[in-house]
Amino acid sequence: MNEITERLNKLRKERNAVILAHIYQLPEIQDIADFVGDSLDLSRKAAQTGADVIVFCGVHFMAETAAILSPQKKVLIPDTHAGCPMADMITADKLREEKAKYKKPFVVAYVNTSAAVKAECDICCTSSNAVNVVKSVRDKAADSTIIFVPDRNLGAYVQKTSGIEMVIWNGFCPTHNNMLPEHLLKAKEEHPDAEVLVHPECRPEVVALADFAMSTGQMCKRAPVSPKKEFIIGTETGILYKLRKENPDKTFYPLSSIAVCPNMKKITLAKVIDVLENMKNRVVVPEDIREKAYLPIKKMLEIS
């Protein structure tokens, strides 16, 4: 492992590269990253660095977001097959068809979408700010039909929390959607004193049984300040490594052991070295799409 790390660090320096790891990545990927976190936060941090190259250890839409925010940098993804099933459930063409059904459509797009879809939307949101973003839309465009894409579970959570009616696209994250209420009830039976934190990409029935619905970033902030010593975590299991590492005095259990994203696990150290050595797998967003996709992200950041 030391040889690999040395080789990686040498390449990182030679290429003037920054390595980003999403919180669902394998432990060894998180350990070699310059930044570990959620997708948008990582892209923003990378944009603020003086790096020439961004290696995004995550799925494709995340690398696209980095390319949108850092057009002057080369963005590389270690595995071009690391995609997102939920992001693939909505396309720019399908979104244009949906918008055409309404007199005044206003599209809120979860950042878990392609650059092409972002270019067709009015504002983006993350799982942590989605409620505030939708509330801002109601205040500024009260007579519009709000279309929320692509996650039906996050959309349901936002609609219930905000009380604002929306047209919700029927997409979902298979990893989160596969966590069922019975999984959570079993975990609570086994760990009755644990605080339950689940991602709002989970089914509404699962969210209803939790203590808090939170983004991954919010979970990481909650754990150290909570009076509880045990936690049941309802999101992709990769987050457990970071939670345990940062809170050694606390215990974390997965809501379900099946909550594993196969696409996130496609990234390996060998692949990170390969893209840096050969400068391959560059993610490029055409400038016309990049400019359009940047605007809804910018609007979201202004609200945040």
Give the model confidence (pLDDT) of 11-47 as tens digits: 999 999 999 999 999 999 999 999 999 988 999 999 9
Angle among Cα 266, 178, 176 to the nearest 5 degrees reads 65
pLDDT digits (tens, 9 = 90+) for 52-101: 999 999 999 999 999 999 999 999 999 999 999 999 999 999 999 999 99
Summarised one tens digit per residue, pLDDT across range 220-243 is: 999 999 999 999 999 999 999 999
Residue 180: predicted pLDDT = 98
In the predicted structure, residue 304 carries a pLDDT above the cut 70: no
In this structure, are residues 59 and 281 in contact, taking their beta carbons and an 8 Å threshold? no
Examine the pLDDT at 209 and tell me if it is beyond 90. yes
Q: What is the pLDDT of residue 168?
A: 98
**The total number of residues written for the chain in this structure:** 304
- DSSP run (H or E) holding 159: helix 152-162
pLDDT exceeds 80 at position 1: no
How confident is the model over 273-284, as a mean pLDDT?
A: 97
CATH of domain 179-254: 3.40.50.10800
Kindly report, as residue ranges, where domains of CATH 3.40.50.10800 are found in the chain: 2-83+264-285, 87-171, 179-254
pLDDT in tens, 143-159: 899 999 999 999 999 99
If you average pLDDT over residues 88-117, what whole number do you get? 98
Helix then strand then coil, in percent of the chain rounded to 5, is 45, 15, 35
CATH number for the domain formed by residue range(s) 87-171: 3.40.50.10800
The class that CATH gives domain 2-83+264-285 is: alpha beta
User: What mean pLDDT comes out for the span 266-281?
Assistant: 97
The H or E element spanning position 149 is: strand 145-149
Mean pLDDT of 188-208: 98
Higher-confidence position of 140 and 62: 62
